[in-house]
Amino acid sequence: MMKYFSSRDNTLRLSASRAIYQGLSEDGGLFVPDGFHRFSREELEQLIPLNYQQMAVRVLESYLDDFTKEEVSAAVAAAYGTGFDSPQTAPTVSLDETTHILELWHGPTHAFKDMALQLLPHLMTLSAAKTGDGREVVILVATSGDTGKAALEGFKDVPGTRIMVFYPRDGVSDVQKLQMTTQQGGNVWVESVHGNFDDAQSGVKAIFTDGELKRTLSEKGFVFSSANSINLGRLIPQIVYYFYSYFTLVREGKLALGDKVNIVVPTGNFGNILAAYYGMKMGLPVRKFICASNKNKVLTDFFLTGCYSLDRTFYTTMSPSMDILISSNLERLLCDLCAGDSDKVKKLYTELKQSGSFQVDEETKTKMDGLFYGGFCDEEQTTETIRRVFEEKNYCLDPHSAVAYHVLEQYRAQTGDGTPAIVASTANPYKFSDSVLTALGGSAQGKTGLQCVELLHERIGLPVPEAITRLKTSPVRFTASCEAAEMKDAVLQFLGGKA
């Protein structure tokens, strides 16, 4: 039986459904698996012909062992169906013999968050049914853009759930704002908050920790939960596409089963790259994990020195989903590298809280060096990469994916390692149409996001996703706006009357 323990207290042991329902451990730690199912050679061979849904069931079932196989299959079928505009769900496109782009943006909101957030609601309602007491699950999200929309699409009209998203009024792009304010669904609410992302985030945290509010709503039959990337239910679906991409390349004769690959990931909260690492623990043949950062390069410095330090400037970049100082899921990697020694992990994170930095020991650093490479890409290099790759390969990268591509080139030049690489591509370029248009020599000045989409389309020819075209004519459903201090009232109103 696979159990999950807290990265800060390994004496706690929870089932998968408990861990998903609860989200975060009460001691502040993250839930991690106490072991991995390692596929045998024979089992790996059986994975070769599988389609995305079949692969998902095979990868997920070992993690969800208090779910029946029928439950896992039904959840996967509901998640990875017609909402994706590619029959492969996550196709892999080869730019040359050793550079393969894993496109994770064919879901309903065209960002990689869909890969997990299309499945999470189903795992959440199943978990609630197993461990909860029949209360309705209320998902609260503070978003700087992509997560809010992907969570809305995932949870819309899922029975037994409601979802409320708060976004900073002046902190999201035109396209992102329209995507959220035109959201369909009978169980959704979207509201803007006066202030920046931190104000919205602090408001949500205050609601989560308001004991009185929790009790009041509990009596009314509601329980809060979160859809952010520290939830296991968001992490484990991301393991699937690394297997799927690897076996796509095997099927196409570009790899032989057992050949090692390098995996390159544009990294923010460290969830996506950690999922690849968990894949390796299950038998995926990986040589190096290449962790790509933008100008906010806390992770590059960490992999170089073993010191994680928050003493640095925060930059706003054209790859906003990677603008981050605290990469939460790194804690899960450290826990694994320390062989589950949660006292050691707890000490590091207490230090981070108290002094703003920690340093890992020699043993951990050596393990990291063997498996990880960290590199970063500044704004100019991002622009240059988008332009050059389009010119040379006729392939348009979004800014996040361009960061990953550049760091791969840097790694190859530095090490001479020509191992075939799978590069995670995390957003459709139209989602960041102004930056991409500018990189390709166009002018975004004075134009709306949707106008930039049209101009970019003329330039690159890639079909514009229907969901983005539709924004022009979709009615706006949500115009409400509040102060951060009023968010609690907004929640109460959404859930039916004042307490």
What are the catalytic residues?
113
Kindly state whether residue 114 participates in binding ligand PLP, applying the rule CB under 6 A.
no
Q: What is the DSSP string of 156-177?
A: TT-TTEEEEEEEETTSS-HHHH
Burial (CB count <10 Å: 0-12, 13-18, 19+), residue 449: buried
Distance CA(335)–CA(27), nearest Å, equals: 15
Q: How far apart are the first and last CA of the chain?
A: 42
Task: Output the CA torsion sign for 98, 239, 40, 253.
Answer: negative
Distance CA(114)–CA(428), nearest Å, equals: 12
Strand partners, 191: 166
Q: How many CB atoms lie within 10 A of CB 37?
A: 17
Q: Which stretch binds ligand PLP (CB under 6 A): 46-54, 269-277, 385-393, 469-477?
A: 269-277
Structure tokens at 416: 């001479």
Smallest gap from residue 486 Cβ to ligand PLP (A): 28
What is the contact mask toward ligand PLP in residues 316 to 355, using x (rule: CB under 6 A)? -----xx---------------------------------
Residues 183-222 close enough to bind ligand PLP by CB under 6 A: none
Total chain residues near ligand PLP (CB under 6 A):
17
The vertex-288 CA angle with 269 and 391, nearest 5°, equals: 80
Kindly tell me which of 131 and 328 has the beta carbon lying closer to ligand PLP: 328
Smallest gap from residue 62 Cβ to ligand PLP (A): 22
Smallest gap from residue 322 Cβ to ligand PLP (A): 5
Binding ligand PLP (rule: CB under 6 A), the pick from 33, 271, 420, 449 is 271
Kindly tell me which of 262 and 401 has the beta carbon lying closer to ligand PLP: 401
Q: Which stretch binds ligand PLP (CB under 6 A): 218-226, 264-272, 280-288, 368-376?
A: 264-272
Kindly state whether residue 229 participates in binding ligand PLP, applying the rule CB under 6 A.
yes
Kindly tell me which of 39 and 303 has the beta carbon lying closer to ligand PLP: 303
Strands (E), 97-180: 99-103, 136-142, 161-168
Kindly tell me which of 99 and 238 has the beta carbon lying closer to ligand PLP: 238
Structure tokens at 474: 């979709």
Kindly state whether residue 426 participates in binding ligand PLP, applying the rule CB under 6 A.
yes
The vertex-93 CA angle with 465 and 255, nearest 5°, equals: 155
Q: Which of 193, 194, 108 is nearest to 149 (CA)?
A: 108
Kindly state whether residue 372 participates in binding ligand PLP, applying the rule CB under 6 A.
no
Structure tokens at 235: 């992490």
Kindly tell me which of 48 and 315 has the beta carbon lying closer to ligand PLP: 315
Kindly state whether residue 405 participates in binding ligand PLP, applying the rule CB under 6 A.
no
What is the contact mask toward ligand PLP in residues 66 to 105, using x (rule: CB under 6 A)? ----------------------------------------
Backbone angles phi, psi at 406, to 5 degrees: -65, -40
Query: Which residues of this protein are in contact with ligand PLP, per CB under 6 A?
Result: 111-113, 146, 229, 266-272, 321-322, 400, 426-427
